[in-house]
């Protein structure tokens, strides 16, 4: 049994496997980079890197075939290969310390990237000058928010992920008398006013703006400057039977309200919200340009940071290459709009953010160590051969 | 004698370099060199007019020389003076490069109409500018990856015209016959005319003609203020804000409030009159006056513009390229005859060429106050500098002239590439906000570029191995072993710097937009280089490849490095691509094809190699 | 701060790994309570329900990839081919039917005699130069999908072109006038005066919503020229009529 295990580890630790994996990884990175022109950076990450197998739909058919190992598979196998090799050939001497450190650093880097892929949440915080917000809006996730606005003191929110709407199965809202039944769901859609398309079939919607809008499903877009408008027709059912059907779409930026079972509900399909226990207010946004040009020199936001419990209240300047790190979140100056009146901060929560730094230090030390030893050996041999010659 | 010959070669090369430092004389009585030395603020940077002339010409026509229709040849400064002050004449110079036949058709032109089939005058383009503008507006709405060759050329031509028109409106109204006289008249009537205007607004009687004349001036100056591309008028000496330069129109408009004109406005107007009238004495006096106006200012950028002027004239990279050719030739011949003398001569000349590029890069760093690599152009300079430096270092140890040839080839080719990269305008342009960080430019960008340089050194060494081994009998076993060791060293060096550079890039990305790794094309390019170098090293350590395989892998490294360096820019997507590239794609493909052909050669079985000993050992 | 992160990240890792191992479990509904957000009025204002408009201030419903406005013009050309702009128009646009036949438009017009026809370019449906003693102005006619081109956004687009601040919805009625012509077409017209790089610039604009199409008529140029051409432009709008097939 032990012998078998040892053979297995020896096989897995083979340098041949390492080289094959490195080449596969390289090819994966190259084709993924080329595919970015079509899919955009985010879809490419999901398709190639955050997957076990890359699946390609054959053009013109509905058939999808796996055609290349994905990032998780290659990275994972490389990790196993590395671990086995370290385990097998681990004999720590001064000479090979550098190489061990380098490989250990790379193991950490791979683990760090895996953690980032699993745990990091990217979102945006858009603030007009003078505005205050205590939440960020996710960059990619969308949610259907059902908000009970009856109580004058607070709002009760049920946030339904869109994956649940796509399943078209009833969704129960815990603690709420309403149940959702998604009737239709589209990743993206175009819209017309009914008055402009008088011959369109009647809308399934009975509540809110829906009846006046004609929905035309369309292909999802991956272009960098466009956003999909996920759209759903959702039936609400109360304890006494159906309440009505509502058109929810990202393109309608305001909540639609209705009353059921004595409560008033506001419903909106929006970017998923991430609430903080502190708030940020934009005091001033600055956009400096080089004199006589439109070349941006710097963007900066002066914000006021206040914690919910009042223990903290300070001013912070966020600008290019100088983010604010607070409460496990990092706020980066990302963009602006509205004639420089509105700032867009990118908000990232990445519990594994420190790992790459540690990995880099370890790898770097290892490489430098190895390089210096190699160089010293080379020079020594030259000198030796020079004296003998 | 034999001892001193190599040293002599180095000294001769050094003397050639020293000659370039002597400033050229004016061609005629006009002090156009003094004019070229005057600083202006363009593109956010204080630079001499000489640089404006050269970069504008490079952008507009991809070369600095101008031939007039009557056969005279102009220096860049003479051309600039004509564009500024004799626009009707300058409009007839065929300087606008158009390479696309569809664009020519849009402008109702054929290649036969142009100088060399590709250069056309503003006068030829003028009748159809509206069509061009419409097409350009449409093309500008497309993302760069979606533009086709025609649309890119339309946008390029519009940019060229924009540059030219900006100059035309920089120091006078092109339509006016005698702008200096108009300005004098404006200054004369200003106090009275302002009073008359006020009186009129208050409903009192006023000199209507005077009010109208003033309104006419206002209109003209507004036009200038909107179109001028240069900020030519320095702030008054009392103002401490070094960036408060204004364009000619703004300076004239400001006179409505202050009632007096800044002296440089008068001097530039006089300079223009003198140039038009062909009066060298007045011209030179105006140049001197404009120069003296800046004497004694504490703006640290002013001395740098003086150095930049010298730098422009010395053309260090041009001369270095020539010397590198010599190095490669000497090194190559040394394999055939007089190995010792020629190899050492090549090394000395190589060292001079390398010191010359060093001086050029340092001068650029001082002028820009930046680390060496800020854009694609400077990355080409730096790749060459690192590559030939490393090759000369190898030569110092191995003394087989291989390092000389590698240094010569790499130095020349990278400078050639750099030459073709300067057509997009000022190569010392200001950095956009995200990139504006000297710390990361100095660490991440420099290390990654050093990695490129080392990869190319390994690749060229491997090329020599395959070419010499398959095509000649000159590759003996000792040289082959030396080449293997040199290539291995270069690959190790490349791995170290690519990995460190890539990781530093990740840290920068984490600092500036919150992701250590975003799978951005530029990052992926760097990663692919690291992976490939790791493949080469592991394949060798695992004894999966012999000498031939190892060398072929290193040659393929050339393809990968070139793809990462240039190909990524051509994808046109990504957060921090250095700049969008146009037609270099053809050359990239040609380069790939040549490398693959040589790899094919390297794959020949050992018995077909003419130097069999090299691969069988 | 760093020391706080470590234990939390370990916990989160375990949780995430557990989640991954559990396979494709359905994502849960999140429930939470927030303080009151100042929600804008959510019900449809009754006055606008009849017109089928979205509530005041609502951005246009064009969150998705709208078709390129000029796709109709270039669809028949091979990719990479430059748009065919000139040569399709008769030398004078006197006869409305000729213009309609050449361009396949759903409406036709007759330009004033002293306006000069220009090549169309890729997107323009009509293009003229209006010349008078004071200089030249440009008259352009475009058509875009009505659904993605609401009135306010387009008037603000024009305002931006001459350096004027955008208008709020509330001031829209005060800043525009309407013009009904004999053919029964309703234009919303606007007159703007602002500054551009070329000096004082005046814009006369008219927008016509017809079914799924929004037609944009614009005369722009130096203040004096456009001011003098105003009667001609209004007369021009009166000649616009639908094509009856």
Report the residue of chain A nearest B397, measured CA to CA.
Answer: A382
pLDDT of residue B78: 94
- Give the C window 55-114 contacts with A, CB below 8 Å: 55, 58-59, 61-66
In angstroms, what separates the C-alpha of A13 from chain B's closest C-alpha? 11
* Type and span of the H or E element at C169: none
Q: Give the pLDDT mean for C176-191.
A: 88
Closest partner CB to C119 (pick from B131, B148, B219) = B131
- Which carries the bigger pLDDT value, residue B513 or residue A352? A352
pLDDT tens-digit readout, C8-53: 444 444 444 444 444 445 788 888 888 876 543 333 333 333 333 3
Q: Which residues of A touch C37 (CB under 8 A)?
A: 155
Beta bridge partners of C215: C143, C208
- A120 contacts A348 by C-beta, under 8 angstroms: yes
Is a pLDDT exceeding 50 seen at residue B372?
yes
Distance, in Å, from the CA atom of A297 to the CA atom of A209, rounded to the nearest integer, reads 44
Distance, in Å, from the CA atom of A176 to the CA atom of A238, rounded to the nearest integer, reads 9
Give buried/exposed letters for B203-226 (b at 16+ CB in 10 A, else e). Answer: eeebbeebbebbeebbebbbbbbb
Three-state SS for B218-275 is HHHHHHHHHHCCCECECCCCCCCCCCCCECHHHHHHHHHHHCCCCHHHHHHHHHHHHH
Q: Give the pLDDT mean for B45-60.
A: 94
Closest CA to B405 of B345, B351, B330: B330
pLDDT tens-digit readout, B251-286: 998 888 888 888 999 999 999 999 999 999 999 999
- C126 contacts C93 by C-beta, under 8 angstroms: yes
Say which residues have a Cβ less than 8 Å from residue B301's Cβ, sequence separation at least 6: B39, B46, B242
Helices and strands (H, E) in chain C, number of each type: 7, 10
- B578 contacts B375 by C-beta, under 8 angstroms: yes
Q: State the residue for tokens 């991430």.
A: A274
pLDDT of residue C121: 57
Percent of chain B with pLDDT over 90: 47
- Give the A window 244-303 contacts with B, CB below 8 Å: 289-293, 295-299
Q: What is the DSSP string of A32-90?
A: HHHHHHHHHHHHHIIIIISSSEEEEEPTTSS-EEEEEE-HHHHHHHHHHHHHHHHHHH-
User: Is A348–B42 a contact, with Cβ atoms under 8 angstroms apart?
Assistant: no
Closest CA to C135 of C224, C63, C56: C224
pTM of the entire predicted model:
0.76
User: What is the SS3 assignment for C132?
Assistant: strand
- C187 contacts C219 by C-beta, under 8 angstroms: no
Instruction: State both tokens at C22.
Output: 């559990």
pLDDT of residue A197: 67
In angstroms, what separates the C-alpha of C36 from chain B's closest C-alpha? 31
- B80 contacts B167 by C-beta, under 8 angstroms: yes
Distance, in Å, from the CA atom of A212 to the CA atom of C53, rounded to the nearest integer, reads 8
Is a pLDDT exceeding 70 seen at residue B445?
yes
User: Half-sphere exposure of A372 toward its Cβ, with a 13 Å CA cutoff?
Assistant: 8
Interface check B146 vs A, CB under 8 A = no
pLDDT of residue B436: 66
Interface check C119 vs B, CB under 8 A = yes
In angstroms, what separates the C-alpha of A354 from chain C's closest C-alpha? 8
pLDDT tens-digit readout, B175-226: 888 888 898 899 888 888 888 888 887 888 878 888 888 888 888 888 888 8
- A131 contacts A144 by C-beta, under 8 angstroms: no
DSSP state of A352: T
Three-state SS for C54-68 is CCCCCCCCCCCCCCC
Mean pLDDT, all residues of chain C: 65
Q: How far apart are the first and last CA of chain B?
A: 38
Instruction: Give the pLDDT of chain A (389 residues) as one tens digit per residue.
Output: 778 888 888 888 888 999 999 999 999 999 998 888 777 777 888 889 888 999 887 777 777 888 899 999 999 999 999 888 888 877 778 888 888 888 889 888 888 888 887 888 889 999 988 889 999 998 888 999 999 988 888 889 999 999 888 888 899 999 888 999 999 999 888 887 776 666 778 888 888 888 888 888 888 877 666 788 899 999 999 888 889 999 999 888 788 888 888 889 999 999 999 999 899 999 999 888 888 777 788 888 999 999 888 888 999 999 887 889 898 899 988 888 877 888 999 898 888 888 888 998 898 888 888 888 888 888 888 788 766 65
Distance, in Å, from the CA atom of A165 to the CA atom of A170, rounded to the nearest integer, reads 9
Is a pLDDT exceeding 70 seen at residue B480?
yes
Q: Give the pLDDT mean for C192-201.
A: 83
Q: State the residue for tokens 């509530």.
A: C55
ipTM of model: 0.84
- B582 contacts B152 by C-beta, under 8 angstroms: yes
Interface check A60 vs B, CB under 8 A = no
Distance, in Å, from the CA atom of A281 to the CA atom of B106, rounded to the nearest integer, reads 53
User: Is B432–A298 a contact, with Cβ atoms under 8 angstroms apart?
Assistant: no
pLDDT bin (cut points 50, 70, 90) of residue C58 is very low
Q: Give the pLDDT mean for B430-448.
A: 78
Of how many residues is chain A composed? 389
User: Is B517–A368 a contact, with Cβ atoms under 8 angstroms apart?
Assistant: no
pLDDT of residue A97: 87
CB neighbours of residue C184 within 10 Å:
8
Q: Which residues of C touch A257 (CB under 8 A)?
A: 42-43
Report the residue of chain B nearest C200, measured CA to CA.
Answer: B219
In angstroms, what separates the C-alpha of A78 from chain C's closest C-alpha? 19
Instruction: State both tokens at B433.
Output: 């906000």
Distance, in Å, from the CA atom of B479 to the CA atom of B476, rounded to the nearest integer, reads 5
What are the backbone angles phi and psi of residue C179, rounded to the nearest 5°?
-135, 120
Largest Cα separation within chain C, whole Å, is 81
In angstroms, what separates the C-alpha of C243 from chain B's closest C-alpha? 28
Is a pLDDT exceeding 90 seen at residue C184?
no
Closest partner CB to C37 (pick from A155, A228, A253) = A155
User: What is the SS3 assignment for B145?
Assistant: helix
pLDDT of residue A68: 92
- Which carries the bigger pLDDT value, residue B555 or residue B566? B555
Is a pLDDT exceeding 80 seen at residue B112?
yes
Interface check A183 vs B, CB under 8 A = no
Report the residue of chain A nearest B572, measured CA to CA.
Answer: A37
pLDDT bin (cut points 50, 70, 90) of residue C86 is very low
Instruction: State both tokens at C49.
Output: 């329900």
- B490 contacts B458 by C-beta, under 8 angstroms: yes
pLDDT of residue A23: 95
Say which residues have a Cβ less than 8 Å from residue B560's Cβ, sequence separation at least 6: B455, B528, B529, B532
Q: Which residues of A touch B241 (CB under 8 A)?
A: none
- Which carries the bigger pLDDT value, residue A377 or residue B560? B560
User: Is B143–A356 a contact, with Cβ atoms under 8 angstroms apart?
Assistant: no
Say which residues have a Cβ less than 8 Å from residue A54's Cβ, sequence separation at least 6: A28, A47, A48, A66, A67, A68, A69, A70
Report the residue of chain A nearest C15, measured CA to CA.
Answer: A119
pLDDT of residue A220: 82
Interface check B450 vs A, CB under 8 A = no
pLDDT of residue B141: 79
- Which carries the bigger pLDDT value, residue C158 or residue B600? B600
Q: Which residues of A touch C213 (CB under 8 A)?
A: none
Closest CA to B496 of B540, B447, B459: B447
User: Is C31–A188 a contact, with Cβ atoms under 8 angstroms apart?
Assistant: no
CA quadruple B560, B561, B567, B571: dihedral positive or negative? positive
pLDDT bin (cut points 50, 70, 90) of residue C90 is very low
CA C184 to chain CA mean position, Å? 22
pLDDT bin (cut points 50, 70, 90) of residue B434 is low
Chain C neighbours, 3+ Cβ pairs < 8 A = A, B
User: What is the SS3 assignment for A20?
Assistant: helix
pLDDT of residue B35: 94
User: Is C80–B223 a contact, with Cβ atoms under 8 angstroms apart?
Assistant: no
């Amino acid at each position: 049994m032990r012998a078998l295990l040892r053979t297995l580890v020896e096989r897995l630790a083979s340098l041949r496997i390492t080289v094959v994996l490195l080449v596969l990884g390289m090819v994966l990175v190259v084709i993924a980079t080329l595919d970015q022109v079509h899919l955009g950076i985010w879809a490419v990450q999901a398709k190639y890197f955050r997957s076990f197998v890359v699946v390609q739909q054959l053009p013109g058919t509905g058939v999808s075939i796996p055609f290349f190992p994905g990032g998780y598979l290659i990275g994972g196998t490389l990790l196993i290969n590395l671990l086995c090799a370290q385990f097998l050939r681990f004999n720590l001497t001064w000479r090979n310390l550098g190489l061990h450190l380098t490989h250990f650093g790379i193991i950490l880097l791979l683990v760090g990237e895996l953690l980032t892929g699993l745990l990091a949440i990217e979102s945006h915080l858009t603030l007009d000058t003078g505005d205050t917000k205590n939440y960020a809006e996710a960059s990619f996730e969308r949610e259907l928010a059902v908000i009970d606005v009856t109580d004058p003191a607070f709002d009760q929110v049920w946030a339904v992920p869109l994956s649940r709407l796509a399943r078209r199965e009833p969704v129960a809202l815990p603690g709420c008398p309403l149940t959702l039944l998604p009737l239709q769901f589209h990743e993206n859609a175009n819209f017309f006013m009914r008055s402009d398309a008088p011959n369109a079939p009647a809308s399934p919607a009975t509540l809110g703006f829906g009846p006046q809008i004609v929905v035309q499903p369309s292909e999802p877009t991956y272009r960098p400057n466009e956003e999909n408008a996920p759209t759903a027709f959702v039936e609400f059912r109360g304890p006494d039977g159906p309440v009505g059907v509502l058109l929810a779409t990202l393109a309608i930026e305001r909540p639609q309200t209705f009353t059921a079972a004595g409560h008033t509900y506001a419903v909106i399909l929006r970017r998923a919200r991430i609430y903080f226990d502190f708030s940020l207010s934009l005091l001033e946004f600055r956009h400096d340009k080089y004199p006589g040009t439109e070349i941006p020199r710097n963007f900066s936001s002066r914000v006021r940071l206040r914690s919910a419990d009042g223990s903290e209240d300070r001013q912070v300047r966020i600008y290019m290459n100088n983010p604010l790190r607070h409460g496990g979140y990092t706020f980066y100056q990302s963009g602006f709009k509205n004639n420089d009146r509105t700032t867009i901060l990118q908000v990232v929560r990445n519990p594994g953010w420190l790992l790459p730094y540690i990995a880099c230090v370890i790898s770097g030390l290892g490489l430098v160590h190895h390089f210096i030893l190699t160089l010293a050996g080379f020079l020594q041999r030259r000198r030796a051969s020079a004296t003998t010659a | 004698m034999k001892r001193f010959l190599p040293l002599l070669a180095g000294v001769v090369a050094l003397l050639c370099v020293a000659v370039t430092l002597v400033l050229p004389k004016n061609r005629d009585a006009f002090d156009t060199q003094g004019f070229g030395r005057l600083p202006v603020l363009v593109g956010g940077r204080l630079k001499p007019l000489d640089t404006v002339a050269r970069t504008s010409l490079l952008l507009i026509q991809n070369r600095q020389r101008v031939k007039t229709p009557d056969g005279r040849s102009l220096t860049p400064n003479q051309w600039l003076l004509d564009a500024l002050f004799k626009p009707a004449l300058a409009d007839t110079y065929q300087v606008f490069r158009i390479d696309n036949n569809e664009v020519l058709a849009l402008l109702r032109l054929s290649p036969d109409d142009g100088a060399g089939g590709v250069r056309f005058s503003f006068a030829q383009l003028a009748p159809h500018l509206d069509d061009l503008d419409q097409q350009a507006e449409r093309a500008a709405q497309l993302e760069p990856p979606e533009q086709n060759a025609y649309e890119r050329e339309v946008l390029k031509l519009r940019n060229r015209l924009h540059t030219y028109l900006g100059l035309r409106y920089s120091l006078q109204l092109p339509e006016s016959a005698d702008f200096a006289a108009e300005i004098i008249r404006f200054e004369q009537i200003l106090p009275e005319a302002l009073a008359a205007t006020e009186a009129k607004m208050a409903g009192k009687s006023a000199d209507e003609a005077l009010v109208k004349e003033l309104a006419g001036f206002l209109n003209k100056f507004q036009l200038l203020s909107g179109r001028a591309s240069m900020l030519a008028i320095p702030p008054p000496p009392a103002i401490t804000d070094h960036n408060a330069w204004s364009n000619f129109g703004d300076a004239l408009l400001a006179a409505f409030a202050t009632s007096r004109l800044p002296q440089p406005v008068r001097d530039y107007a006089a300079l223009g009159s003198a140039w038009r009238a062909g009066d060298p004495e007045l011209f030179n006096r105006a140049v001197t006056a404009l120069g003296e106006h800046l004497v004694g200012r504490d703006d640290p950028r002013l001395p740098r513009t003086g150095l930049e002027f010298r730098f422009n004239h010395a053309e260090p990279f041009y001369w270095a390229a020539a010397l590198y050719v010599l190095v490669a030739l000497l090194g190559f011949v040394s394999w055939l005859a007089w190995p010792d003398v020629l190899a050492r001569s090549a090394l000395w000349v190589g060292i001079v060429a390398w010191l010359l590029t060093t001086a050029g890069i340092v001068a650029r760093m001082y002028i820009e106050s930046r680390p060496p690599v800020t854009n694609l152009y400077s990355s080409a300079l730096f790749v060459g500098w690192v590559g030939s430096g490393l090759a000369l270092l190898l030569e110092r140890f191995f003394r087989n002239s291989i390092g000389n040839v590698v240094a010569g080839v790499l130095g020349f080719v990278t400078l050639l590439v750099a030459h073709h990269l300067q057509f997009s305008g000022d190569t010392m342009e200001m950095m956009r906000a995200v990139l504006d960080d000297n710390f990361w430019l100095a660490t991440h960008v420099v290390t990654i570029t050093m990695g490129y340089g080392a990869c190319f050194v390994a690749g060229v060494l491997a090329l020599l191995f395959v070419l010499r081994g398959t095509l000649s009998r000159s590759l003996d076993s000792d040289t082959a072993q030396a080449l293997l060791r040199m290539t291995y060293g270069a690959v190790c060096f490349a791995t170290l710097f690519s990995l460190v550079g890539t990781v530093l890039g990740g840290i920068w990305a984490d600092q500036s937009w919150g992701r250590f790794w975003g799978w951005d094309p530029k990052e992926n390019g760097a990663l692919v280089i690291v992976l490939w170098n790791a493949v080469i090293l592991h394949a060798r350590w695992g004894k999966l490849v012999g000498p031939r395989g190892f060398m072929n892998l290193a040659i393929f490294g050339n393809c990968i490095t070139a793809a990462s360096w240039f190909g990524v820019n051509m994808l046109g997507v990504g957060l921090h691509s250095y700049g969008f590239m146009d037609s270099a794609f053809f050359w990239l493909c040609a380069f790939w094809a040549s490398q693959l052909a040589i790899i094919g050669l390297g794959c020949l079985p050992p018995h077909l190699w003419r130097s069999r000993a090299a691969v069988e050992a | 701060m760093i020391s706080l992160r470590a234990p939390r990240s370990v916990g989160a890792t375990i949780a995430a790994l557990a989640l991954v191992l559990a396979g494709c479990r359905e994502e849960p509904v999140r429930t939470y309570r927030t303080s009151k957000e100042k929600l804008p009025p959510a019900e449809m204002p009754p006055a606008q329900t009849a017109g089928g408009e979205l509530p005041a201030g609502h951005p246009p419903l064009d969150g998705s990839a709208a078709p390129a406005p000029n796709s109709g013009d270039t669809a028949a050309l091979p990719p990479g081919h430059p748009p065919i702009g000139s040569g399709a128009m008769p030398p004078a646009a006197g006869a409305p039917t000729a213009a309609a036949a050449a361009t396949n438009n759903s409406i036709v017009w007759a330009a004033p005699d002293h306006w000069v026809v220009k090549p169309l370019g890729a997107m323009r449906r009509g293009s003229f130069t209006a010349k008078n003693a004071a200089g030249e102005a440009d008259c352009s006619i475009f058509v875009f999908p009505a659904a993605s081109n609401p009135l306010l956004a387009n008037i603000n687009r024009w305002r931006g072109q001459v350096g004027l601040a955008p208008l709020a919805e509330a001031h829209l009625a005060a800043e525009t006038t309407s013009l009904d012509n004999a053919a029964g077409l309703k234009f919303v017209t606007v007159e703007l005066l602002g500054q551009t790089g070329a000096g004082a610039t005046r814009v006369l604009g008219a927008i016509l919503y017809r079914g799924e199409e929004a037609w944009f008529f614009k005369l722009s140029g130096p203040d004096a020229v456009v001011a003098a051409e105003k009667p001609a432009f209004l007369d021009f709008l009166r000649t616009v009529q639908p094509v009856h097939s």
